[in-house]
A and B are shown apart, each in its own frame.
Chain A
Amino acid sequence: MQARPVHRFSFAERAIHWLAALSFLYAALSGLALWSHHLYWLATVLGGGVVTRWGHPWGGIVFALLVGAMFLIWARQMRLDSDDRTWLRHAKKYAVHDEAGLPAAGRFNGGQKMLFWGQVVLTLLLLASGVVLWFPEWMPRNFRLAAILIHPIVAAGSIGMIILHIYMGTAAVPGSFRAMIRGWVTPGWATSHHPKWYREISKN
C-alpha cells in the first residue's frame, strides 16, 4: 500500500540546502587542492591553479551567504530543548539503532541541531580567516599567521562533519535523501524518526 506522503521540506528549503551543498563542494574541493601537493590535481580539474585560487574565496562567500539563509529559515527550529539534550547524551544508542529509551525528536533531532550550529560557527570562522588569506597584501602579518593555521583546521573540521552528514543523509537513514530532493516522507518514516514533529503537524 502506498502511504500518503508527508510534506517535510519546502521548495525554498531544498533550494537553499542544495545551493549550499554545491558551493560547499566547490569550496572544499578547491581548498583541498591547496591542502597538499598530492591533491593539487584537483586544481587542474577545476581549471588550473590560478582559477582555483581566484574561485575558491568566491565559492566560500556564496556558501557563507547560503549558511546565512539557512540561519534565517531554520535558526528558531534549531533551538535545543531539554529532550534534545537528553537525546544528545544518549547519541551513542542512536548510532547503534537502539532507540528504545531515546526522547522523541521534533522536526530536527539533537544531532541535526548540533550539526547546524556547528556549521554556523565554523562558517563564521572560515569566513573571517578566509578573508585574511584572500588579501595577504592588506593584512597585518600576525593576522595572516593566525589565518593560515585557523582556516585549514576549521575547514578540516567542517569537511569531517559533512562526511558524517552525507552518510546520515544517504546510506544510514533511508528516506532522508528523498526528503531533501522531493520534499516528502512517508508517515512511517515521520513516526519512526521525528515523532514529535509528526504529531504536531498531524494535529492541524
Chain B
Amino acid sequence: MHTVAKLVDTSTCIGCKACEVACQEWNDQDFTISGFDGSYQTLPDLEHNFWNLIKFNELSREDGQMTWNMAKYQCMHCVDPGCLRSCPAPGAIFQQKDGIVDFNHDLCIGCGYCITGCPFDVPRLSPNSKKVYKCSLCSDRTAVGLEPACIKACPTNCLTFGTREDLIQIANARAGELKQDGHAGAGIYNPEGVGGTHVLYVLKDAADPESYGLPKDPKIPWTVSLWQGPVKWLGNLLFTGGILGAFFHYLRYGPKPTGDEEGSDA
C-alpha cells in the first residue's frame, strides 16, 4: 500500500501563516498569544492547542542583511515513531497503514512518556484535559479523500500532499532545480535515524537543517530504546526468576527449622 506524506518546500514559503490559521480552524482550537518575544513567529513553540508553527529562523546573509529560513514545524509522522514506542497505554498512539501517527485521546492516560520519546519534541500535554495533543496530519480529512487543512490553505504550493514515493521524487527534482539556480547545497530532509518521515522537506541548505529549526540527526533517544528493550526483558527475567527461584528453593531445601521441633532444647 502507498503511504501518504506532506512535502514542505521551504524555498517557496512566504511566511503568510495561512496554514497555521487553517489548522486552528479545522481542528477548532482556541489559543491565546502567550507572549511577544520580538519575532515574527506566532508563538515561540508548539502548544497543546497549536500544532503547526511556521518558524521564522533569523539568519544573517553574507552581505550582512538579515534573512529568514522559514520552516513549518509539526509532527513529522515518523516511520519509526519514538512516541509510539514509549506509550504505555495500548491504542493511545497508533500508526495507520498509510503512515499517519495519530493519538486516541480516550485511551491516553496523560503520562507524558511520548513527549520524552519524541526526537522532535512535538507532543504537548494539555493542562486542562491532562492528555497529549499534536498534528494528526488531518487523519479525519485524509480518511475521506481530502488533503490536510494546511495544504488546502497554502497559497504558494509550498505544501504538497500525496503518496510518499511520489513526493520523494518531486522533492528530489525540486532540489535539483534549486541546485541549478545556484543553491549548491540544496537537498531533501527525510531523516534516516527515525526510518524516514511522512513529512518531507526541501531545504536550500540541506547540510544545515538546524538553521531551519530541524534537528540534524534525530534518533529515538538511546535511554528510550534501552528502557523499552533490554530493561523490560531483563526485568521480566528477574521477576519470573525470583518467583521460580523461591519456589524451587522451597522444594529443594524446605523451610528453616522453627526451633520448636521435638527434641530442640528451647
Q: Which of A37, A159, A167 contacts B246 (CB 8 A)?
A: A167
Tell me which of B28-36, B171-179, B193-201, B219-227 binds A. Answer: B219-227
- Are B109 and A49 closer than 8 Å at their CB atoms? yes
- Say yes or no: A96 contacts B232, CB within 8 Å: no
Of residues 160 through 183 on chain A, the ones whose CB sits less than 8 Å from some CB of chain B are 160, 163-164, 167, 171-175
B259 touches A49 (CB 8 A): no
Cβ-Cβ contact count across A and B, 8 Å cutoff: 136
Interface contacts beyond A137-B127, A175-B260: sample of 12 additional A-B pairs, CB < 8 Å, sorted by A: A34-B88, A136-B125, A148-B113, A152-B232, A164-B242, A171-B246, A171-B250, A171-B255, A172-B246, A186-B259, A188-B266, A190-B259
Question: Which of A61-69, A119-127, A138-146 is near enough to bind chain B?
Answer: A138-146
B107 an interface residue at 8 Å Cβ cutoff?
yes
A contacts, CB < 8 Å to B: 3, 33-37, 40, 43, 49-50, 52-53, 95-97, 133, 136-137, 141, 144-146, 148-149, 152-153, 156-157, 159-160, 163-164, 167, 171-175, 186-193
Instruction: List 27 A–B pairs whose Cβ atoms lie within 8 Å, in order of A's numbering.
Output: A35-B232, A36-B232, A37-B90, A40-B88, A53-B111, A96-B253, A136-B112, A137-B127, A145-B224, A146-B223, A148-B113, A148-B227, A149-B231, A153-B231, A153-B235, A156-B239, A164-B246, A172-B246, A174-B256, A175-B258, A175-B259, A186-B258, A187-B259, A189-B259, A191-B259, A192-B256, A193-B259
Q: Is A159 touching B256 in the complex (CB atoms < 8 A)?
A: no
The majority secondary structure among interface residues of chain A is helix
Q: Does B65 contact A (CB under 8 A)?
A: no
Q: Indicate whether A49 sits within 8 Å of B250 (C-beta atoms), given known contacts A146-B223, A186-B260.
A: no
Interface size on B, residues (CB 8 A): 44
**B38 within 8 Å of A (CB atoms):** no
Bound-state CA distance A137–B110 (Å) is: 11
Residues of chain B contacted by A136 (CB below 8 angstroms): 111-113, 115-116, 125
> Are A160 and B238 neighbours in the complex by a CB distance under 8 Å?
yes
